[in-house]
Amino acid sequence: MTPEGSGEPHDGPAGRGSGPSPARGSGEPRGGAPVGPEGSGEPRGGAPVGPEGSGEPRGGAPVGRDDVVVWTDGGARGNPGPAGFGAVVTTAGGRVLAEVAEGIGWATNNVAEYRGVIAGLRRAKEVGARRVRVRADSLLVVNQQKGLWKVKNAALRPLSDEAARLARGFERVVWEHVPRERNRRADALANRAMDDQGRVEGPVQGTLDPQLPLT
């Protein structure tokens, strides 16, 4: 099972069906939600949830969403090649609030990583987050958004700028690099997105353009 307090994303009580079931042997817990920190607004003691997919306990008390974690991943098979991303928004305790995944056609790995971050930040805003901790296994994206590394690739600048713009829309955003082993759910979503988009034709020779639409 996931160690208590690890913050890795997990589903709430059985029957929600809002995301993919944990893969056998993935180490992701099945069943009840963890106890939330005092004042977080998260249900304690496995409080029953409300309508399927609502993420709210019965009785109208909303799950705490001021502070969320955005787990993101992106990849390209061949780099460049068929690409996709996945992002998971969770409470600080690991309860999944939202997921998003998309195949983006032919792109580079770094483009896919940035697209995942952008999609994750947008979902965080949609669920009402005020403070965000972004966890990604792309050191390039994390260090560029921290201002530690320059964005030397001109094709990545629009994506980097969009991620930074979205980040400014929150009270606080913390960027954290995590190993891939801790990012299993976002990784699985990205791979599923690449599988689901089917065959992707490469670009016309000499015309690779990684500046994909942001929406």
49 strand-pairing partners: 57
- 160: Cβ contacts below 8 Å, ≥ 6 apart: 114, 144, 145, 151
121-154 pLDDT, tens digit each: 999 999 999 999 999 999 999 999 999 999 999 9
Where do the domains of the chain lie, and which CATH numbers do they carry?
A: 67-195 (3.30.420.10)
DSSP code of 22? Answer: P
Quote the pLDDT of residue 12: 56
2-51 pLDDT, tens digit each: 444 456 776 654 333 334 434 434 444 344 444 444 444 443 443 333 33
Positions of E strands within the chain: 67-76, 81-91, 96-107, 131-136, 172-177
